Amino acid sequence: ARCPVVVVGAGPAGLTVGNILRAAGVDCLVLETESRAFIEQRPRAGVIEEWAVRGLERRGLAGSLLERAERHSACEFRFGGDGYRFAYTELTGRHHWVYPQPLLVTDLVREYADVRGGEIRFGVRDVRLHDLDSDRPAVSYTDPDSGERVLVHCDFVAGCDGARGAGRAALPPRARISRHDYGIGWLALLAEAPPSSGHVLFGMHADGFAGHMPRSAEMTRYYLQCPPGDDPDAWSHERVWDQLQRRLGAAGRPPLTEGRLLEKRVLDMHNYVVEPMVFGRLFLAGDAAHLVAPIAAKGMNLALNDAFLLGDALAAYLTKDDPAGLDGYSDACLRRVWDYQEFSEWLSEIYHGTSHGDPYRAGTTLARLRRLFTSPAAAAAFAEQYLGTAEAF
């Protein structure tokens, strides 16, 4: 078989690339190891930055999102027993959009496969990439129905299959991988409970960080800092809610609305960046190229940024013979990647600086926090990075 582009992975990155290519009349094949039902329900991210919403809109991919997403205009820091609201929209005129990742993935699959007629294979096994340094690369996989190996020749491979996919496995020795371990864990929780506030809450507490992220009228994501590698089973329902109430409690604020915990897993917080993001005919996008711990809710946004650039660049090359986008792809992506990596580092210190038992670090962390509420320049800088640079794509 032959196809100009094989996209490996049907996450936000891969599906966005596929949709852009179909809109430009380019054939592509998307390969995904999971089932359609599974990817349409996998809970993960929820925050989409306004520039990314506009990028989706411009490519005809934001119909349901614009109807159903919630727009947030503030977040709140809780520390020292008080709550401090940070109204970023008042400062910038821009919003955070909250739209759960499974809904976005559902929209993108439907548009790609059912509307734009794109080809997609679910449940494939043992995906392997071949001859990436030649101009005739190929991808092979085991077909779930026949059990046979299938080989697809192509011009380009888009490696959009996340942190543990075939794209990362195929990296040559010349790939430079920078990694940062935070040395902490986060217990990621999804609660069947309405949000306890209309906005995101960050709790800085001596016991550790806690976060509250509204997802929908019935669903709230919570995070609790814990030791890396901690056992999620050590966190009973009672212990989770007791710690959330403690770490997020503030004077004059009602207690959190509790509910059943649907997801409970420990994330060992780390980041990495693969440089460059292109190896021969393999173009990496999203988590396959860079991971950023969910500290600043940036991962899906970076995946979309890559996908816009890669989809547009592949379409320009394949339909107009214009190589400029592909040539500049890696550098263009990495600028935003490193910008967001740096912001995650900075924000991590705010979240975790008070909980190490080190009074010096706690002192500087509280100074950094107070500055957000006393210096308009510091507030504006924070708002800009929190919302993401408003570049047009």
CB nearer to ligand FAD: give 358 or 391: 391
**Please, are residues 364 and 26 in contact by the beta-carbon 8 Å criterion?**
no
Footprint of ligand FAD on 110-139 (CB under 6 A): 127
Q: How far is the CB of 35 from ligand FAD (least distance, A)?
A: 10
By CB under 6 A, name the one of 6, 7, 12, 202 that touches ligand FAD: 12
Q: Which residue stretch of 26-34, 64-72, 85-93, 194-202 sits at the interface with ligand FAD (rule: CB under 6 A)? A: 26-34
Q: How far is the CB of 130 from ligand FAD (least distance, A)?
A: 14
Q: How far is the CB of 16 from ligand FAD (least distance, A)?
A: 8
Residue 285 to residue 21: CA distance in whole angstroms: 15
Q: Which residue stretch of 27-35, 72-80, 85-93, 328-336 sits at the interface with ligand FAD (rule: CB under 6 A)? A: 27-35
CB nearer to ligand FAD: give 303 or 326: 303
Taking alpha carbons only, the member of 95, 247, 111 closest to residue 186 is 247
Q: Which amino acid is located at 152 in the chain?
A: V
**Please, are residues 191 and 220 in contact by the beta-carbon 8 Å criterion?**
yes
Q: Does 39 bind ligand FAD (CB under 6 A)?
A: yes
Q: Does 311 bind ligand FAD (CB under 6 A)?
A: no
49-85 in b/e form (b: 16+ CB < 10 A) is bbbbbebbeebebbeebeeebbebebbbbbbeeebbe
362 C-beta neighbours (distance < 10 Å), count: 16
Taking alpha carbons only, the member of 59, 58, 51 closest to residue 96 is 51
Q: Which residue stretch of 109-117, 158-166, 204-212, 332-340 sits at the interface with ligand FAD (rule: CB under 6 A)? A: 158-166
**Please, are residues 60 and 23 in contact by the beta-carbon 8 Å criterion?**
yes
By CB under 6 A, name the one of 5, 7, 8, 244 that touches ligand FAD: 8
Residue 12 to residue 161: CA distance in whole angstroms: 10
Residues that bind ligand FAD (CB under 6 A): 8-14, 31-34, 39, 44-47, 101, 127, 160-162, 165-166, 188, 286-287, 294, 297-301, 303
